[in-house]
Amino acid sequence: MSLKIFGDANDYVAKGLSGGKIVVVPSKINRLKTKENTIIGNTVLYGATSGKLFAAGKAGERFAVRNSGGTAIVEGCDSNGCEYMTGGNIVILGSIGDNFGAGMTGGMAFVYDEKNNFENYANPSSIVWVDSSALLRVKVPPVAAPVKYSNFWVFPLPGFKVRLPSATLR
């Protein structure tokens, strides 16, 4: 299944996602900057086991909570992102809110730390952050947004840091 949403979406987008692909892009009349505006609501990707979510904008609070296998790319998220995450891969291309990664025990988060202030928002008891040295290949669909997505990204890229659960290093 593939679903493309033009405009914004509310809470629980991709809740329990178990395959397929969801793409959320601004409406054609929207002139807002995607990196500065929320396009998907709270508790998005909650409990996903597989599948992909691509959003040309920010996610609300509790993004990717209890994600256990989904893959997503968003342009930022509010507080408690990747909370209790056990699997999957998340790419965040902008700012994050407080308590990022609390209780995270699996999966990986790649956060573009443009302002180099990730440690001010991360939960240090649950995660560690390192400069990206792993390679991750992500197929990105073309979206109607100012962010220039290439067809494939290969990490490391300057400014990206990998966020790993502390348990991964034990």
Domain count of the chain? 1
Query: Residue 147: what pLDDT?
Result: 44
pLDDT, tens digit (0-9, with 9 covering 90-100), for 15-56: 999 999 999 999 888 888 888 899 999 999 999 999 999 999
Domain enclosing residue 135, as ranges:
2-169
Between residues 157 and 11, the one the model is more confident about: 11
Model confidence pTM above 0.85: no
Residue in 99, 127, 126, 107 with CA at minimum distance from that of residue 67: 107
Output the domain CATH number for residue 19: 2.160.20.60
Q: Which residues contact 165 (CB under 8 A, 6 or more apart)?
A: 85, 101, 104, 105, 106, 107, 126, 127, 128
